[in-house]
Amino acid sequence: MGFFTRKRSATSAKERLQLVLVHDRTDLTPGQLESLKDDLIKAISQYIEIDPEAVRIELEKDGREQRLVADIPLKSSSRHRAG
């Protein structure tokens, strides 16, 4: 990456801190978050068909509030069946 195309350092400081603080505050490592995601996929799959590849689980912050946000798209076939 060349000097001119590189992000200015304050931007990467902020992005890195955003990630680090979310995990510091929840005491949840990225690895634990991955296994939580796997368990969640297993549990949901018992009831409804989902695409495991498309599942997104993220910790978000709003001020000092932490939130676990899951985006779990359903497989289109299961939507047809439901409809």
Partner 1 sequence: MTSQVITVTSGKGGVGKTTAVANLATALAMDGKRVVCIDGDIGLRNLDVVMGLENRIVYDIVDVIEGRCKLKQAMIRDKHYQEMYLIPAAQTRDKNAVSPSDMVRICKDLRPDTDFIIIDSPAGIERGFRNAIAAADSVLVVTNPEVSAVRDADRVVGILEAEEKGNPSLIINRLNPALVKNNDMLSAEDVLDLLGIHLVGIVPEDETVIIGSNRGTPIVTDGKSRAGQAFRNIAKRLQGVDVPFMDLAPQSGLWNAIQRLAGRK
29 binds partner 1 (CB under 8 A): no
Contact with partner 1 (CB under 8 A) among 4, 5, 14, 77: 14
Q: What pairs with residue 70 in β-bridges?
A: 57
Contact with partner 1 (CB under 8 A) among 20, 54, 68, 70: 20
Task: Report yes or no: 75 and 81 within 8 Å, Cβ to Cβ.
Answer: no
Phi-psi region of 27 (alpha: psi -120 to 50; beta: other; left: phi over 0): left
| Number of chain positions touching partner 1 (CB under 8 A) | 16
Q: Can you tell me which residue has the tokens 């985006």?
A: 71
Q: Which 64-83 positions form the footprint of partner 1 (CB under 8 A)?
A: 64
The residues binding partner 1 (CB under 8 A) are 8-11, 13-14, 16-18, 20-21, 24-25, 61, 63-64
